[in-house]
Amino acid sequence: MDPLTPVPELVVSGRKLVTPSGVRPGHVFVSGGRITAVSDSDTAPASAERFDAGENYVLPGLIDSHVHFRTPGLTYKEDWEHGSRAAVRGGVTTVMDMPNTVPPTLDPEAVFDKARMVEGRSLVDLRFHIGLDPTRPELLADLDPSVATSAKVFMAGHHTAPTVVRDPAVLERAFAAAAEGGVQLVLHAEDDGLFALLDAWWGEPGSYLEYERRRPRTGGIVAVAKVVELVRRYGTRAHILHLSSAEEADLVCAAQAAGYPVTFEVTGHHLSFTDRDTRRLGARTRLSPSIRGQEDQDRLWRALANGQLATLGSDHAPHTVAEKTRSVAASPPGLPGVQELAVAVWTGMRLRWPEEDPDTAVTRLVRHLAQVPAELFRLPGKGRIAAGADADLVVFAPDTPWMFSAHDVESKCGWSAYEGWTFTGRVERTLRAGRTVWDGASGTFGSYDGRLLTAADGTSGESTSADRTLTAALAVREG
């Protein structure tokens, strides 16, 4: 070995490492929680611990940039212990948590308060999306990237969205401030005014099949058109969350072709279910935006096949069974999904494109669940198997069939819309910072010492202070 390279504590070997240069055999050398080298030969000393993944894929740790782990205020239905267990069991080693908690995370003080609550309770590394405060949109112009690099904007409301932007002037000020501060906006892009009109006309829904009539595709189309126009005017970087319809996908793709910095996410749920499933599953697949038809789902799959979408996300939003069995009008939208995300998408790809080379398929999965999220949200050290990156690794058995049951659910809510599904592909082991946090063979988890990830400036994803521990981050605040 190079005398300047630290002596590896761990060597992960395999014939299918998914690296930025392609799928290849090799050995990943790990020291101090980071990858020090990726080599064709194992030159490490005999004292190093070794793990051989064999014919399984070795992926970089996956990134779910859209979770609701419900801390603070809503921990009766999810918390970081359960949510992060679900994450690592699904191969996710980094999450970005949303701000619609009680109270909402709308300023730096709230971010640090949340960080204190999470300390010592997370198996995954993390970052928080700060929430846009409609009364103070100008805060985004001076947002310290050590606090947050992205801000969530709710353009429509639901049960857990207390800070909806209904005033067009406030939305415009938010886009201007975010552009000035170099902040990435992430948007729930549906039109609340349109929905209010429909609610006043239709009244309360009497069945789950009526839900989409009150939350139709037009709400998303109108809102995405507004976002595109504001991006055009201000140059703000905007990321549309849980995009659900064919028309919205076409709008964003057209905007991208025109050179606008707008991207979009597709959830595993919208790729997995259609409105026909709602007849059987009812509240289990009640979402916001709602589940749509087969043609919409087909368009979202084409967006994945063509690389038009930027990220895959779970929108992991658990509710209790009691909440989900309320009346149709009162049942909240949302379902758990961080555990199921990667295997659900992988299963869908293998079913839709059975002739595709598995190496091509797995490279696509890694691109949208690791590489692009790391780049888009400036997560230094994440999303790749390469020297200098964090030693977050996932051993993935691509052909293993297995049935997902309620017994497998790690989310605190205790249920899943995927119960009874037969998945293809299984996460056998998940490592974060070179240490096992999920071992499928023994069914055990690792240490709850996930780190708060920050960025030193508003432009660079490579930061010397990016891997601050939660304890250190709080010490900076209090010092």
Can you tell me the distance from the alpha carbon of 262 to that of 231, in angstroms, rounded to the nearest whole number?
Answer: 7
- The Cα 92–Cα 85 span in angstroms is 9
Beta bridge mates, 316: 67, 335
Q: Is the dihedral of CA 421, 427, 433, 439 positive or negative?
A: positive
Check if the beta carbon of residue 149 is closer than 8 Å to that of residue 184: yes
Reading the block at residue 368, the tokens are 């949208």
Neighbouring C-beta atoms of residue 478, cutoff 10 Å:
8
Is-cis flag, bond preceding 20, omega within 30? no
CA distance 408 to 159: 27
The span from the CA of 64 to the CA of 87, in Å, is 8
Contacts of 169 (CB under 8 A, 6+ apart): none
Task: Spot the catalytic one: 79, 97, 275, 315.
Answer: 315
Residue partners of 467: CB distance under 8 A and separation at least 6: 380, 381, 390, 451, 453
Work out the angle at residue 251's Cα, subtended by the Cα atoms of residues 245 and 164, and round it to the nearest 5 degrees. Answer: 70
H helices of 236-387, in order, are 246-257, 268-272, 275-281, 294-305, 321-324, 341-352, 358-366, 372-376
Closest by Cα among 266, 290, 289, 265 to 277: 290
| CA 335 – CA 372 distance, rounded (Å) | 24
CA distance 212 to 219: 10
Question: Counting runs of H as helices and runs of E as strands, what totals does the chain give?
Answer: 15, 18
Cα 428 to Cα 344: distance, rounded to the nearest angstrom? 15
Say whether 107 is catalytic: no
- Give the residue among 391, 461, 452, 354 at the shortest CA–CA distance from 120: 452
Helical axes 217-234 vs 246-257, angle rounded to 10°: 10
Angle between helices 341-352 and 358-366 (to 10 degrees): 140
Q: Which residues are catalytic?
A: 315
